[in-house]
């Protein structure tokens, strides 16, 4: 959710500028492409690692791939055929499946989802308002972002072992805090559930539906959840900023609709071209239904469509979605009026949304919102204080941070992540070099450490010390 809200804030800032000036003074596409080349080279090289970044642009002029870096350490250069994790961009495929099934009369947006689930599953409701597929597609169901169920192992994220049985059990025992359809709250769980509901209705797996209903009609041969050996050879390896390789956990089938797909820049340009009507497609009407802003996120200028985030004011109109997971970043977006679409992929833990928004708008000021700050200055502290910080901190029922002292050094390890060293900026504030974040330890009135705060550009996240 934080990633989505961060992108919304970027767009609100962009929209607040003088758009008449942007339209009239934007650099020509050739100049924009030259700037993009500089941007991606700088963003990769500043980390002194063999990372890769790919930008694809499609417009009425044609297509272009701009890339820099490596697919994996010591490997080939990234290009338009390199596979990346789509992460949450997967959701626009799930929403398109829904829109296509609605168009064909196979499902109804207003039907309660309990209609498609086994009768023994008790889907939560509030004040008689039941969750529908429309609520799931617009993140207004009231369901939480992630399934708050432990995996059984603190080293594995809770969603990895999530099964159909666990999903049904979760739904049957969850209490909504508000009525469905009343508030936007980004929910990976909700979109996983939507994909599962469509599977039950169609009688075909999520993978089969994506391939048969979307990829095959559009000629997208490299967008898949299940990987063949040939596709795996072209899959970029994900990294943290310090060069550690990220564990590439696969989304379980029951949550595949939330973030299970992988794709290439070439395939995604085909997808964007079809969404903009640059190329004929039997899916155009269904695609256009997903682009309609249906529920406000930020006043009336940023709304949620079917998965897509829609920013529109006067002559400014951008439809987009971003995604992230450990070691990967993804962004796709398009301007339906100017007929320009952009995809950005990275195999390292760095922001790329500003590059995507610049590629669409041509507005250089947006890049200031993604500027790098100087790495904090490391100071000397008494390492004995590290003993107070060592312990286990709980962020959610499924995510823990374990802090350990090793000699005169302090380390932190989140569930399913590598161990990262913490560098002191002060006696209570530490920064990481692997990701752009700080950790702040807090004491209670008695001087006992009781929690830590993870602070990043996307906000604060609090973890309570439990042992």
Mean pLDDT for the stretch of residues 95-102: 98
Mean pLDDT for the stretch of residues 204-227: 96
pLDDT at 367 over 80: no
State what percent of residues in the chain have pLDDT above 70: 88
pLDDT of res. 146: 81
pLDDT of res. 11: 61
SS3 track for 367-398:
HHHHCCCCCCCCCCCCHHHHHHHCEEEEEECC
Mean pLDDT for the stretch of residues 333-354: 94
Mean pLDDT for the stretch of residues 85-93: 97
Q: Residue 318: which H helix or E strand, with range?
A: strand 316-325
Q: How far apart are CA 251 and CA 275, in angstroms?
A: 26
Task: Kindly report the number of other CB atoms within 10 A of residue 105's CB atom.
Answer: 7
pLDDT of res. 21: 36
Mean pLDDT for the stretch of residues 414-423: 90
107 within 8 A of 101, measured Cβ to Cβ: yes
The structure tokens listed for 210 are 């994506």
199 within 8 A of 191, measured Cβ to Cβ: no
pLDDT at 374 over 90: no
The angle that helices 90-103 and 188-202 make with each other, rounded to 10 degrees, is: 40
Calculate the CA dihedral of residues 372, 377, 382, 387 and round it to 10 degrees. 0
pLDDT of res. 8: 63
pLDDT at 13 over 90: no
pLDDT at 18 over 60: no
Residue 26, classed as helix, strand or coil, is: coil
Mean pLDDT for the stretch of residues 209-221: 97
375 within 8 A of 430, measured Cβ to Cβ: no
281 within 8 A of 218, measured Cβ to Cβ: yes
pLDDT at 459 over 70: yes
Q: Residue 189: which H helix or E strand, with range?
A: helix 188-202
Q: How far apart are CA 157 and CA 145, in angstroms?
A: 14
Whether the model pTM is above 0.75: yes
Q: How far apart are CA 423 and CA 437, in angstroms?
A: 11
**Residue 127 or residue 162, greater confidence:** 127
Task: Kindly report the number of other CB atoms within 10 A of residue 125's CB atom.
Answer: 16
pLDDT of res. 24: 35
pLDDT of res. 181: 96
Q: What is the pLDDT of residues 19-63, one digit of tens each?
A: 333 333 444 566 788 899 999 999 999 889 999 999 999 999 999
**Residue 251 or residue 260, greater confidence:** 260
Q: How far apart are CA 431 and CA 197, in angstroms?
A: 42
Average pLDDT over all residues of the chain: 89
Mean pLDDT for the stretch of residues 218-236: 95
* Nearest to 436, CA basis, from 352, 345, 323: 352
All domains of the chain in start order, with CATH: 2-370 (3.40.710.10), 383-465 (2.40.128.50)
Which range among 141-145, 159-163, 283-287, 455-459 has the greatest average pLDDT?
283-287
State what percent of residues in the chain have pLDDT above 90: 73
pLDDT of res. 111: 93
Helices (H) and strands (E) in the chain, counts: 15, 20
pLDDT at 149 over 80: no
**Residue 160 or residue 326, greater confidence:** 326
Q: Residue 437: which H helix or E strand, with range?
A: strand 437-443
Of 144-148, 199-203, 271-275, 384-388, least confident by mean pLDDT is 144-148
């Amino acid at each position: 959710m934080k990633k989505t809200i961060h992108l919304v804030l970027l767009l609100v800032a962009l929209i607040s500028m003088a758009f008449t000036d942007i339209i009239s003074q934007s650099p020509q596409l050739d100049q924009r492409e030259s700037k993009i080349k500089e941007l991606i080279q700088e963003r990769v090289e500043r980390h002194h690692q063999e990372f890769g970044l790919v930008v694809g642009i499609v417009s009425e002029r044609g297509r272009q791939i701009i890339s820099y870096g490596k697919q994996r350490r010591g490997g080939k250069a990234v290009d338009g055929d390199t596979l990346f994790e789509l992460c949450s961009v997967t959701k626009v495929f799930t929403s398109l499946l829904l829109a296509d099934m609605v168009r064909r009369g196979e499902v109804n947006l207003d039907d309660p989802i309990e209609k498609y689930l086994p009768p023994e599953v008790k889907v939560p409701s509030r004040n008689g308002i039941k969750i529908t597929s429309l609520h799931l597609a617009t993140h207004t169901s009231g369901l939480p972002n992630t399934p708050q169920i432990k995996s059984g192992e603190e080293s594995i994220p809770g969603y990895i072992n999530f099964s159909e049985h666990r999903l049904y059990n979760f739904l049957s025992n969850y209490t909504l805090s508000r009525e469905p359809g009343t508030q936007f709250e980004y929910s990976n769980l909700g979109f996983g559930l939507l994909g599962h509901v469509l599977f039950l209705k169609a009688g075909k797996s999520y993978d089969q539906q994506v391939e048969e209903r979307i990829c095959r009609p559009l000629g997208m041969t490299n967008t898949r959840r299940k990987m063949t050996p040939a596709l795996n050879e072209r899959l970029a390896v994900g990294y943290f900023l310090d060069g550690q390789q990220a564990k590439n956990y696969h989304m379980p089938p029951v949550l595949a609709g939330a973030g299970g797909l992988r794709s290439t820049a070439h395939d995604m340009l085909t997808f964007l071209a079809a969404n903009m009507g640059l190329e004929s497609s039997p899916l155009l009407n269904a695609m256009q239904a997903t682009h309609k802003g249906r529920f406000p996120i930020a006043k009336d200028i940023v709304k949620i469509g079917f998965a897509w985030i829609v920013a529109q004011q006067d002559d400014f109109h951008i439809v987009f979605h971003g995604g992230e997971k450990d070691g990967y970043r993804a962004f796709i977006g398009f301007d339906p009026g100017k007929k320009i679409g952009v995809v950005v992929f990275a195999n390292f833990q760095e922001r790329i949304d500003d590059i995507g928004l610049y590629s669409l708008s041509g507005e250089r000021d947006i890049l200031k919102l993604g500027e790098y700050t100087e790495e904090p200055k490391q100071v000397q502290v008494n390492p004995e204080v590290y003993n107070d910080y060592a312990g286990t901190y709980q962020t959610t029922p499924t995510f823990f941070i374990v802090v350990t002292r090793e000699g005169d050094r302090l380390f932190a390890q989140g569930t399913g992540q590598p161990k990262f060293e913490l560098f002191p900026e002060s006696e209570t504030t530490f920064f990481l070099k692997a990701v752009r974040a700080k950790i702040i330890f807090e004491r209670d009135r008695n001087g006992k450490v009781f929690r830590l705060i993870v602070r990043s550009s996307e906000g604060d996240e609090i973890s309570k010390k439990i042992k």
